[in-house]
């Protein structure tokens, strides 16, 4: 299942979405999450749907991969749908069976909220699918720069973020290695009674903690040795460049917002 | 205990866009009591082969026979623990697997997982500790207070205390100083000789392979490229060079010597002493003392 997850995974490709400025993408996703709440009838939801699929199409991420990765989320969507379906008590009664009553409004709300959920997940995945972690961090750092005025440690936060992202694969490898070493010493991770399996986590977690702390210390020393002094006066190798596409994308989103306001019920 | 791999193929993350073929068509026989060295470049599939030796990985094609058990592709395999008790693996940087509060608890962890009683396990811990050249005073210490070299020995003792019939070593001396390196390699060699313990050594060092092994398997791009005794392997140094591998220093010296002096010793010598003896004999002298 882990192998099919699309969250946080970057899929390299040549596309308009990949080339966009990460700042533009971050702003668009943030605004999108806000304006999706403007939709409240079929028309507006259709508009949002069209917009989402145009964006997905522009990313050139294979649709099969995208929807394959969404399968684990479908349960959550289904659960939300059922919740709305059974607990909304407005509109005409459509169907009833003993205490279970389904109303027209329930179906409508259930569908709308599931759709909203679905579009939100697609759009936010789009960000990580088309933007490398390092770009996201860079973008976030520049966007949050004004907060430095109120002494918010923007640079440190960005550094923390990029270090943790950088070490996820390393940690995964390490976990795999230690797990195998302990299996070879007779630990059973995948079978046996639950109590035993919980106990089996200790020989895995302790070595992982130890090596993480060691690695943190080594990294800190390596950074100091190379003269790291925080974000002060630091120049960047990767320059972010805001281009025409980025402005166009923002304009498109603005148009969508206006349409949504005009067409909503 | 005999181990044999027949036509083993392994793919990582099979069935996803990230699928990667690691080894294919690997057939290796390891009769009981063999000292086999597995050599090859990084990424040649050595480590993948190694993990098949005690069923940590299940082949995606082919089968692995370990003693009287057979692990086949596409088959549910139950109770692999029995295999793991008989085949001990010392992974690269084994000190990373230490986790207990005291050295003693860490060494007896393996044996106790395999159902050995606590007292018997403690007895084994003492024996194993002696084998790796450490004193008993260390038993009550925390493994994390020890030096890197000592930690390595403790981790090795933890595997030896399982009393395996086969021991698999993945670069057991990486990162150690030359003296520690030799001590540990000699220790494994003595164990192999004394207990007739089958030993499989994965290494980059041609010197170690030449000195200790009686069979060498060379892996290249996920396949077995060559197999033979050290004499056979190193008497065709061109092949090794072509595969981008090193030739032991002694062999390199002998080849240079033969080339410069026109002397032909007729066979390849794998240790300095043997070579010296052969050369002096050829030159018609005795060893000057």
Specify whether A110 is located in the same domain as A185: no
**What is the pLDDT confidence band of residue A91, given thresholds at 50, 70 and 90?**
confident
Residue B104: the pLDDT is 94
Q: CA–CA separation, B276 vs B54, rounded Å?
A: 41
Specify whether A115 is located in the same domain as A198: no
Query: Taking a C-beta distance cutoff of 8 angstroms, is the pair A162, A133 a contact?
Result: yes
Q: Would the CB atoms of B51 and A182 count as touching at under 8 Å? A: no
Specify whether A68 is located in the same domain as A19: yes
Q: Within 13 Å and on the Cβ side, how many CA atoms surround B110?
A: 31
Specify whether A62 is located in the same domain as A181: no
Name the phi and psi angles at A223, rounded to 5.
-70, -45
Q: Would the CB atoms of A203 and B97 count as touching at under 8 Å? A: yes
Specify whether A181 is located in the same domain as A92: no
**Is residue A158 assigned to a domain?**
yes
The total number of structural domains that make up chain A: 2
Specify whether A102 is located in the same domain as A211: no
CB contact A265 to B (< 8 Å):
no
User: Which residue's entry shows tokens 């939300």?
Assistant: A80
> Which of B15, B80, B97 has the most A C-beta neighbours within 10 Å, making it the best mutation to test the interface with A?
B97
Q: CA–CA separation, B148 vs B75, rounded Å?
A: 41
Residue A175, classed as helix, strand or coil, is helix
The two tokens of residue A221 are 């020393």
**Is residue A155 assigned to a domain?**
yes
Nearest Cα residue in chain B from A199: B113
**Is residue A137 assigned to a domain?**
no
Specify whether A104 is located in the same domain as A176: no
pLDDT higher than threshold 80 for residue A69: no
- Of the candidates A174, A177, A186, the beta carbon closest to that of B110 is on A186
pLDDT (average), residues B104-117: 93
**What is the pLDDT confidence band of residue A229, given thresholds at 50, 70 and 90?**
confident
* ipTM field: 0.88
Query: Taking a C-beta distance cutoff of 8 angstroms, is the pair B78, B156 a contact?
Result: no
- Of the candidates A65, A181, A210, the beta carbon closest to that of B144 is on A210
Q: Would the CB atoms of B81 and A188 count as touching at under 8 Å? A: yes
pLDDT (average), residues B58-69: 92
Give the list of residues 6+ apart from residue B161 with CB closer than 8 angstroms, or none: B107, B108, B110, B111, B121, B124, B125, B127, B128
pLDDT in tens, B30-50: 999 999 999 988 889 999 999
Specify whether A46 is located in the same domain as A23: yes
* Size of the A and B interface in Cβ pairs below 8 Å: 58
Nearest Cα residue in chain A from B57: A180
A-chain residues near B162 (CB < 8 A): 185-186
Specify whether A73 is located in the same domain as A119: yes
Residue B103, classed as helix, strand or coil, is helix
Q: Would the CB atoms of A207 and B96 count as touching at under 8 Å? A: yes
For the stretch A234-239, contacts whose Cβ atoms lie closer than 8 Å and that sit 24 or more positions apart, written own/partner, are A234/A155, A236/A138, A238/A134, A238/A135, A238/A138
Specify whether A23 is located in the same domain as A96: yes
Q: Would the CB atoms of A3 and B144 count as touching at under 8 Å? A: no
pLDDT in tens, B161-196: 999 999 999 999 988 888 889 999 999 999 999 988
User: Which chain B residues have any C-beta within 8 angstroms of a chain A C-beta?
Assistant: 13, 16-18, 51, 54, 56, 81, 84-85, 88-89, 91, 94, 96-99, 109-110, 113-114, 144, 158-159, 162
- Of the candidates A3, A186, A207, the beta carbon closest to that of B99 is on A207
Specify whether A78 is located in the same domain as A208: no
Q: CA–CA separation, B172 vs B94, rounded Å?
A: 8
Q: Quote the domain boundaries for residue A207.
A: 146-225
Specify whether A125 is located in the same domain as A19: yes
**Is residue A48 assigned to a domain?**
yes
Give the list of residues 6+ apart from residue A145 with CB closer than 8 angstroms, or none: A154
**Is residue A172 assigned to a domain?**
yes
The two tokens of residue B284 are 């018609």
pLDDT in tens, A16-41: 899 999 999 999 999 999 999 998 88
Nearest Cα residue in chain A from B90: A181
**Is residue A257 assigned to a domain?**
yes
Residue B237, classed as helix, strand or coil, is helix
Choice between B25 and A198, residue whose per-residue pLDDT is larger: B25
- Of the candidates B18, B91, B162, the beta carbon closest to that of A181 is on B91
Q: Would the CB atoms of B17 and A65 count as touching at under 8 Å? A: yes
A-chain residues near B85 (CB < 8 A): 186
**Is residue A100 assigned to a domain?**
yes
* B40: β partners: B219
- Helix, strand and coil in chain B, % to nearest 5: 40, 20, 35
Give the list of residues 6+ apart from residue B98 with CB closer than 8 angstroms, or none: A207, B106, B143, B144, B151, B154, B155, B158
Contacts with B, A 189-208, CB within 8 Å: 202-203, 206-207
Q: CA–CA separation, A119 vs A117, rounded Å?
A: 6
What is the number of residues in chain A?
Answer: 265
Q: pTM of the full predicted structure? A: 0.76
Q: Would the CB atoms of B18 and A3 count as touching at under 8 Å? A: yes
**Is residue A234 assigned to a domain?**
no
B-chain residues near A13 (CB < 8 A): none
């Amino acid at each position: 299942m882990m192998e099919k997850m699309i969250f946080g995974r970057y899929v390299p490709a040549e596309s308009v979405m990949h080339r966009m400025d990460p700042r533009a993408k971050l702003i668009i996703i943030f605004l999108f999450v806000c304006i999706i709440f403007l939709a409240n009838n079929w028309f507006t939801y259709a508009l949002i749907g069209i917009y989402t699929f145009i964006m997905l199409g522009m990313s050139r991420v294979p649709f099969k991969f995208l929807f394959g990765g969404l399968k684990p989320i479908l349960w959550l969507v289904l659960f939300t749908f059922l919740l709305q379906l059974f607990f909304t008590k407005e509109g005409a009664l459509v169907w009833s069976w003993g205490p279970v009553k389904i109303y027209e409004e329930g179906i409508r709300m259930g569908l709308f909220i599931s759709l909203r959920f679905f579009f939100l997940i697609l759009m936010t995945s789009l960000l990580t699918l088309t933007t490398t972690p390092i770009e996201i961090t860079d973008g976030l750092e520049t966007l949050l720069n004004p907060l430095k005025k109120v002494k918010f440690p923007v640079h440190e936060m960005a550094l923390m973020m990029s270090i943790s992202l950088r070490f996820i694969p390393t940690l995964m490898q390490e976990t795999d290695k230690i797990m195998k070493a302990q299996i070879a010493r007779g630990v059973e991770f995948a079978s046996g009674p639950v109590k035993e399996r919980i106990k089996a986590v200790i020989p895995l977690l302790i070595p992982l903690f130890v090596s993480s702390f060691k690695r943190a210390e080594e990294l800190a020393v390596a950074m100091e040795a190379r003269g790291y002094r925080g974000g002060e006066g630091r120049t960047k190798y990767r320059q972010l460049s805001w281009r025409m596409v980025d402005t166009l994308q923002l304009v498109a989103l603005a148009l969508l917002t206006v349409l949504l306001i005009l067409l909503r019920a | 205990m005999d181990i044999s791999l027949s036509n083993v193929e392994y793919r990582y993350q099979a069935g996803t866009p990230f699928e990667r073929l690691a080894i294919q068509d690997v057939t290796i026989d390891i009769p009981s009591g063999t000292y086999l060295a597995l050599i090859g470049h990084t990424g040649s599939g050595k480590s993948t082969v190694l993990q098949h030796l005690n069923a940590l990985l299940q082949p995606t094609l082919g089968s692995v026979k370990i003693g009287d058990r057979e692990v086949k592709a596409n088959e549910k395999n139950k109770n692999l623990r029995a295999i793991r008790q008989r085949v001990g693996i010392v992974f690269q940087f084994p000190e990373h697997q230490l986790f207990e509060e005291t050295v003693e608890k860490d060494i007896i962890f393996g044996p106790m997982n395999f159902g050995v009683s606590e007292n018997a396990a403690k007895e084994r811990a003492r024996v194993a500790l002696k084998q790796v050249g450490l004193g008993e005073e260390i038993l009550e210490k925390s493994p994390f207070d020890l030096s890197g070299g000592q930690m390595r020995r403790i981790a090795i003792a933890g595997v030896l205390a399982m009393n395996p019939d086969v021991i698999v070593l993945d670069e057991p001396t990486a990162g150690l100083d030359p003296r520690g390196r030799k001590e540990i390699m000699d220790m494994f060699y003595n164990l192999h000789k004394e207990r007739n313990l089958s030993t499989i050594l994965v290494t980059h060092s041609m010197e170690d392979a030449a000195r200790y092994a009686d069979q060498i398997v060379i892996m290249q791009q996920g396949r077995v490229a060559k197999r033979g005794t050290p004499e056979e392997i190193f008497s065709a140094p061109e092949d090794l060079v072509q595969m981008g591998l090193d030739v032991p220093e002694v062999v390199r010296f002998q080849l240079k010597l033969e080339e410069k002096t026109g002397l032909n010793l007729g066979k390849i010598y794998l240790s300095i002493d043997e070579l010296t003896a052969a050369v002096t004999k050829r030159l018609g002298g005795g060893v000057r003392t």
